[in-house]
Amino acid sequence: MNKQELADKLSEKFPELPKAKMVELLEEMTKVITETIKGGGEVVLAGFGAFLAKQRKGRMGINPQTKAAIEIPAVTVPKFKAGKTLKDALRAQTSAQ
């Protein structure tokens, strides 16, 4: 499901809000989440999960073409930790099949 499809689904649930507003809302939500985790914060949606930034350590790697050792630098990466409600919903789906 892409952003437009998500906006369409949400518009069905909230018919008083136009689809264009729903897309705008989703855009702003992703901006707020991005800005928050860039600043070292965490966005927690209770039951759903948490968005945060995590520092990945630098390490040594091997170039598969040349087999030469290369240094892979440290980098900050986005991370999502699923909440209990989301995990339980997926487990229930798996056990029902």
Q: Measure the CA–CA gap between 74 and 72, rounded to whole angstroms.
A: 7
DSSP symbols for 34-60: HHHHHTT-EEEETTTEEEEEEEEPPEE
Domain ranges of the chain: 1-39
pLDDT tens series, the chain, 97 aa:
998 899 999 999 999 988 899 999 999 999 999 999 999 999 999 999 999 999 999 999 999 999 999 999 999 999 999 999 999 999 987 666 6
pLDDT at residue 45, as a whole number: 96
| Length reported for the chain | 97
pLDDT at residue 82, as a whole number: 95
